[in-house]
A and B are shown apart, each in its own frame.
Chain A
Amino acid sequence: MKLHEYQSKRLFAKYGIPIPKGDVASTAAEAVTVAAKIDGNVVVKAQVLVGGRGKAGGVKIAEDKAAAGTCAEKILGMEISGLPVRKVLIDEAVDIDTEIYLGITNDRIAKCPVIMASAAGGIDIEEVAVDAPEKIVKEHIHPFLGLKNYQTRNMAVAIKLPERLWKQFDDICQSLHNVYTTSDATLAEINPLVVTKVGDLLAVDGKMVLDENALDRQGDLEQLRDSDLETVEENEARRHGLSYVALDGDIGCMVNGAGLAMGTMDIIKHFGGEPANFLDIGGGASAEKVAAALRIILKDGRVKVLLINIFGGITRCDEVAKGVVYAIDEVGVDVPMVVRLVGTNEKEGRELLSSAKLSTASSLADAAKKAIALAA
């Protein structure tokens, strides 16, 4: 779950990381009020969960509160990479001497968190990782030992930070690690962490991503979810315990199992069709779940055919068939359906469906081809 810059910075501040003076605003008037409380220039920054805000014109310097209001007005009306800007962050503009990258994420291969720093701050770290990986210094954080002082010292020396800043840097690294572990984050990034002209470290930007699997125990943080990032359908699916991702095509898919659902999308594409979505109904497949899934898929007006692929292991095919028939009655499906049911009680399942006048298939390839033909 992604957090906005202003949300991440607030959390950072709670854990002792220095951030610029500033606050968030949802209207031009609010922006003026916030800017009035800050001496000197301010930066007006679009709060959207995508990169490239600066390039899109979503980050502007304003000299006074009136200018801040004008900037805010303009930026609040923008869409960046398809996402509407609903809030702007008004921060004091800081005189920057140097920019550093500092971030913590999980290293899947090392199976522990890794903290990374680079003197190439303020730019896309993924580009640095590809073009000049030697510019990034990493230290792995042992799950039991935590982040040790020598590790932050190693990084400080590698990025040529002056010795008088080592203590500040260590404090910020420790605080970042604290907020990372306490919030169950999978990413916590400060890019750039700047050395100001006055000579101190300051977190000018902030980004956090939280582990979806841990949100149950992060009640307060779960409230911060930005529903703009998901479609209404993705949101609804999550609430029903379904996994749904919207795509661009016209063949709707309902499958049990994430790997099989991905495989079904792949096979449709392989035979020349375009999947409209990914949807994993998981195990069980009760009538209500099937109905909820169908409703969600069919909300997409582009769907011309519905492909249902169920491999019944523990899930019984006749139970799924009953769910499909119930759902068709409940939801009212007016697109052709191809149903492929294999596994436990498949015969009983198919019998239930043949009376509902649906197209059936026994192999996955067959089902995909039938669906593609019907969508044409």
Chain B
Amino acid sequence: MDANTKVMVQGITGREGLFHTQQMLDYGTSIVAGVTPGKGGEIISDKIPVYDTCKAALEVNSIDCSVIYVPASFAPDAILEAADAGIALVICITEGIPVSDMMEVRAYLDNTECRLIGPNCPGVLSPGETKIGIIPGHIAQKGNVGVVSRSGTLTYEVLYALAQKGLGASTCVGIGGDPINGTNFIDVLHLFQNDLETKQIVMIGEIGGSDEELAADYINKFVDKPVVSFIAGQTAPPGKRMGHAGAIVEGGSGMASDKIEALMSAGALIANHPEEIPELLARKS
């Protein structure tokens, strides 16, 4: 993804939509259209046309990616609308979508060409090129570390820690904190493994589910670039949801220690805290 990626913003006239559209424009993202039902015809920031529907936007614009800032009760509908209109990549920032809605969305999307990132994610940042979502652009440098994370501000912390030590990210992908999402660790690891710009990988996980364990298995078999990981929630008590809908240790599974063990067996280095990540990367390069 780069400065040429043409982006559409769903929910552009809402409070979050307006604010983040300006932030993305300031960074250099190419935003070509917005969608808010009922606000078709408006213009945002003097140049972005607003449409009533994704279909209408696509009649006149070529769009590579849509980013969604729409409340939880309307977000599943927005995702499906974008997919049906033929958009190849949808990034959903929204937190709080009921899990049953996401199971339906995922079941539908699996039969389309559309890839979803999120929901409940900060989006994607390609430093120096484009930012699609809410990751603060100014904290990250351009470099060759691929960063993939389930978290929001913890991801920013890591990008900042890298920049402090002169390291930069090739691309940063936030896959989000929900239990059912569009893109998992393996999906992104696969892309990083095949990306010429990415020489090392940082994976930020947390308690809940088994995405990190599945990723460890994938790393073992298919990833030869060095991987450094931090898993948040070692001190989380079992049975309690720690903020993110997907961050919960249930029935003895989803524990941070299991994830750490799996990743270590796959050859990944584990940081005890985010600020350790740059030195671990230095060790492996």
Instruction: Give me the interface of A with B, judged by CB distance under 8 Å.
Output: 106, 108-109, 111-113, 126, 129-130, 142-144, 181, 184, 186, 211-214, 216-217, 243, 245, 247, 255-263, 265-270, 275, 278, 280, 311, 313-314, 342-344, 363-365
Inter-chain contacts of A267 with B (CB < 8 A): 272-274
Please indicate which of the listed interface residues B98, B152, B235 has the most CB atoms of chain A within 10 Å of its own CB: B235
**Which residues of B are found within 8 Å of A111, using beta-carbon distances?**
103, 106-107, 180
**Interface residue from B104, B154, B237 paired with A245 (Cβ < 8 Å):** B237
B242 touches A278 (CB 8 A): yes
Given contacts A217-B98, A257-B152, A280-B243, 15 further A-B contacts (CB under 8 A): A126-B252, A143-B100, A212-B241, A243-B242, A245-B237, A258-B243, A259-B154, A261-B243, A263-B274, A267-B272, A269-B235, A311-B160, A343-B156, A344-B138, A365-B275
Residue of chain B at shortest CB distance from A129: B251
Q: How far is B19's CA from A266's CA once the two chains are assembled, in angstroms?
A: 33
Known interface pairs A243-B242, A259-B151, A261-B242; A266-B206 also in contact (CB < 8 Å): no
- What residues of A have a CB within 8 angstroms of the CB of B206 in the complex? 258-259, 262
Whether B23 sits at the interface, judged by CB under 8 Å, is yes
A243 nearest in chain B by CB position = B243
Name B244's contact: one of A126, A129, A259, A266 (CB within 8 Å): A259
Chain B interface, >50% SS class: loop
Q: Is the CB of A214 within 8 A of B98?
A: yes
How many angstroms from the CA of A297 to the CA of B280 in the assembled complex? 35
Verify A262–B233 contact, CB threshold 8 A: yes
Residues of A within 8 A of B19 (CB): 314
Residue interface mask B141-161, A partner, CB < 8 A = 1: 000000001111111110010
Can you offer 5 A-B residue contacts whose CB atoms are under 8 A? A129-B251, A143-B103, A257-B153, A313-B134, A344-B136
A112–B179 CA distance with the chains assembled, in angstroms: 11
Bits for B55-98, please: 1 = Cβ < 8 Å to A, else 0: 00000000000000000110000000000000000000000111
Note all chain A residues with C-beta closer than 8 A to B138: 344
B262 within 8 A of partner (CB):
no
Q: Are B273 and A343 in contact (CB under 8 A)?
A: no
Contact A266 B103, beta carbon cutoff 8 Å: no
The answer to whether A186 and B99 touch across the interface, beta carbons within 8 angstroms, is yes
Selected from A212, A262, A342, the residue in CB contact (under 8 A) with B236 is A262
Q: Is B100 in contact with A181, judged by CB distance below 8 angstroms?
A: yes
**Contacts A257-B151, A262-B206, A365-B273; is A142 near B107 (CB within 8 Å)?**
yes
B230 at the interface (CB under 8 A from A): yes
Q: Are A364 and B107 in contact (CB under 8 A)?
A: no
Contacts of A278 in B (CB 8 A): 236, 242-243
- Is residue B132 contacting chain A, with contact meaning CB distance below 8 A? no
Number of A-B contacts (CB under 8 A): 167
Q: Known: A259-B244, A342-B160. Contact between A313 and B179, CB under 8 A?
A: no
Q: Which chain A positions have C-beta within 8 A of B220?
A: none
Q: How far in angstroms is the closest Cβ of chain A from B3? A: 21
Nearest opposing residue in chain A for B178, CB measure: A213
Chain B residues whose CB sits within 8 angstroms of the CB of A363 once the complex forms? 275
A263 lies within 8 A of B103 (CB): no
A142 / chain B contacts, CB cutoff of 8 Å: 107
A184 near B233: Cβ-Cβ < 8 Å: no
Binds A, one of B28-36, B191-199, B207-215, B221-229: B207-215
Q: Check if B242 sits within 8 Å of A313, measured CB to CB.
A: no
What's the minimum C-beta distance from A349 to chain B, rounded to whole angstroms?
Answer: 15
> Contacts of A343 on B, CB cut-off 8 Å?
136, 139, 156, 160
Min CB distance B127 to A, Å, is 14
Contact A262 B136 (CB under 8 A): no
Inter-subunit contact B273/A311 (CB<8 Å):
no
A contact residues around B281 at 8 Å (CB)? none
CA distance A109 to B104 in the complex (A): 14
Please indicate the chain A residues that have their CB under 8 angstroms from the CB of B272 in the complex. Answer: 266-267, 270
A266-B151 Cα distance, complex, nearest whole Å = 15
Residues of A within 8 A of B244 (CB): 258-259
Instruction: Check if A265 sits within 8 Å of B236, measured CB to CB.
Output: yes
With beta carbons under 8 angstroms apart, the residue of B72, B96, B179, B247 that contacts A258 is B247
Residues from chain B with a CB closer than 8 A to the CB of A245 are 236-237, 240, 242
Shortest beta-carbon distance from B277 to chain A in Å: 11
Taking the complex as formed, is B204 at the interface, i.e. its CB lies under 8 A from any CB of chain A? yes
